[in-house]
Chains A and B, each alone.
Chain A
Amino acid sequence: MSDALIEVRDVSVTFGSGSRAVRAVRQVSLHIEKGEAVGIVGESGSGKSTLARVLAGLQRPNSGEVRFAGESIYQRGKAYRGENRRLVQMVFQDPYGSLNPRITALSAVSEAVRVHGVGSRKDAIAKSLELLGRMGISERDAGKKPRQLSGGQRQRVSVARALSAQPSVLLADEPTSAIDQSAQAQLLNLFRGLLDGGLSIALVSHDLGVIRYLTQRVYVMKDGEFVESGLTVEVFDNPQQEYTKQLIASIPGRELHKALS
């Protein structure tokens, strides 16, 4: 486990204090290896988004440790300093809320490319167009503003922007929940390609289908704790905990197709 890219040890997050304290994350430990997709699945209020924010360095845990490439992500009081800030990128649930409505997709990406220091303005634009192209966004669509793009396109722009930093880890918090099924398939194919290219992905989602499709390992979260974890295939085929069984039984639609095939 020493070559884990991200390692979380005994992390707890508590909001508020005294009798009104909410223990959102309780003594949670996990690790993400290079080139691996790890799922964190749970329902609303399970603490999964808080945990995602902890991984991203947006929420400081009350106790426990988050390590990236062997070192604490907090150095001199700040999360992900220097080079590390580039290496860990995040994609959020709502692509509309995370893109500036007044600038085009191309500007949004090329801005990020330049922040992470890639040559001249011209180079940045060429690089951005190439990135957007890989995400299936045409040059014509690259000139559009977020409101002119579909939800799936917006989400792919967000991914392009995250990738412009050439990260080694992508943290994705419910990236597919706001988009149509066919757009979801496009995004998942894209993620799969990135995994093959050596990127690590932490996928936080309440959608078990997405988790089952993309991840190798999964952590099932409930009330701030992991109730079950392991290889995704094993957890789905043979869930040990009552809660996991219940979750899996709630996935719609598989019965009919099982019956037909």
Chain B
Amino acid sequence: MSVNAMASESSDVLVEIRDLVIGIQRTRKDRLLIVESANFDIRRAEILGLVGESGSGKTMVCRSLIGTLKRRSASIFAGTIKFDGMDLAKLEERQWRSVRGSRIGYVPQSALTGANPVMTVGKQLGEAIRRNRKRKEKDVRRRVMELLELVHIRRPEVVYDQYPHQLSGGMRQRVMIAAAITQDPDIVVADEPTTGLDVTVQAEIMKLLKEIRSELKMSVILVSHDLALIDEVCDRLVVMHAGTCVEVGSVSAVARTPLHPYTIALNRSRIDISTPGAPLITIKGNPPAVGEWPAGCRFSDRCDFVQQDCTVGRNPVLVEVRPNHWSACLHAERLGGTSE
């Protein structure tokens, strides 16, 4: 079954990303491709994990969902992002203003860079609320308080008048989540929202993201390089390697029967499920640099299961190997067979 059949039983599909190509136009003729084939759906009220090493293209895919690729001088060269009758891949900046924030919210990696340092929390959230329509000052304040309570900020009336630097990292990230959901978006994109935060704080932020999914019925995209975290919080996951999606499926299916050697290798290098002191099985070599991708499968020169046909031709695309479980490995069937 091909990628196009992905949305088979899918009234609950919110966003359809197909054959997305993202890159940087360096000169008129020279294009540097960063993401070469992103293919996946975002379903309604799910937490979707996006996992991969640095340079795999996960942040670029996120940026394509909130229309901020231009700020990194990147653009979409091909493919579609279908969302509510629109193709986000072809949206003009003017049109983005009615999507970004109001339909798709964004939680940045670092709340210190995402927040305005010279505005109080109350002012910032208030501004986000007022952005789309005029409201009475009193209503805005009430809504801000509501949001602060929603993200479990203790003593919201105090935090309202505080500046970002006065808050702890965890509190700041809560405020950023509040900002992302001010306008009741359908989707919240969270790009490594807990990097640099403590484990206990991370656990609280994850709990909050789960609540947003189950109580507010928003879809959440959680970007992380931490498979353990993805396992814990997400319903489904997308594994990215060297600018392509190599595996898509439910978290439990991928944990039980990974269908791509890269996912298998990632799992083996996890310390949370290895025996202390036993050798960790690492992935050979380094992730290929952007633009220095090998022929055929881009994981082929690091793969333990590599066959002759893996190193020639085009980069293999996702195929539905099992119901709702896609892999881009040419030999996925065999992988699935051996691990059961």
**Chain A residues proximal to chain B, CB less than 8 Å:** 43-44, 150-153, 177, 180-186, 188-189, 192, 206-210, 212-214, 232-233, 246-247, 249-257, 260
**Residues of chain A contacted by B197 (CB below 8 angstroms):** 44
The CA of A101 and the CA of B135, in the complex, are separated in Å by: 51
**Residues of chain A contacted by B270 (CB below 8 angstroms):** 181, 185, 253
The CA of A239 and the CA of B294, in the complex, are separated in Å by: 48
> Are B280 and A188 closer than 8 Å at their CB atoms?
yes
Given contacts A184-B271, A233-B276, contact A252 B226 (CB under 8 A): yes
> Are B202 and A180 closer than 8 Å at their CB atoms?
no
Given contacts A252-B226, A253-B228, contact A44 B169 (CB under 8 A): yes
Instruction: Tell me which of A206, A209, A252 has the highest count of chain B C-beta atoms within 10 A of its own C-beta.
Output: A252
> Are B231 and A256 closer than 8 Å at their CB atoms?
yes
The CA of A121 and the CA of B258, in the complex, are separated in Å by: 50
B337 at interface, CB cutoff 8 A = no
Chain B positions 246 through 271: 1 when the CB is less than 8 Å from some CB of chain A, otherwise 0 = 00000110011000000001100111
Given A44-B169, A181-B226, 15 more pairs with CB closer than 8 A: A43-B199, A43-B201, A150-B55, A180-B53, A181-B270, A183-B53, A185-B281, A246-B200, A247-B200, A250-B199, A250-B203, A252-B272, A253-B226, A253-B272, A255-B232
Instruction: Tell me which of A44, A153, A192, A233 has the highest count of chain B C-beta atoms within 10 A of its own C-beta.
Output: A44
The CA of A246 and the CA of B200, in the complex, are separated in Å by: 7
**Residues of chain A contacted by B277 (CB below 8 angstroms):** 192, 213-214
A43 to chain B, nearest CB (A): 4
B87 to chain A, nearest CB (A): 33
> Are B266 and A252 closer than 8 Å at their CB atoms?
no
> Are A252 and B274 closer than 8 Å at their CB atoms?
no
> Are A181 and B225 closer than 8 Å at their CB atoms?
yes
**Residues of chain A contacted by B269 (CB below 8 angstroms):** 181-182, 184-185
The CA of A206 and the CA of B194, in the complex, are separated in Å by: 13
* A189 CB contact (under 8 Å) in B53, B196, B251, B279: B279
B167 to chain A, nearest CB (A): 13
In the complex, the chain A residue whose C-beta lies closest to that of B196 is: A177
> Are B231 and A257 closer than 8 Å at their CB atoms?
yes
Size of interface on B: residues with Cβ below 8 Å to A: 43
B42 to chain A, nearest CB (A): 22
In the complex, the chain B residue whose C-beta lies closest to that of A207 is: B199
**Residues of chain B contacted by A247 (CB below 8 angstroms):** 199-200
Residue pairs across A and B with Cβ atoms less than 8 A apart, 29 shown, are A150-B55, A150-B287, A177-B196, A180-B225, A181-B225, A181-B269, A184-B269, A185-B270, A186-B282, A189-B282, A212-B271, A212-B276, A213-B271, A246-B200, A251-B228, A252-B203, A252-B206, A252-B226, A252-B228, A252-B233, A252-B272, A253-B231, A253-B272, A254-B273, A256-B232, A256-B252, A256-B255, A257-B255, A260-B252
Given contacts A44-B198, A210-B271, A213-B274, contact A252 B282 (CB under 8 A): no
* B282 CB contact (under 8 Å) in A177, A185, A207: A185
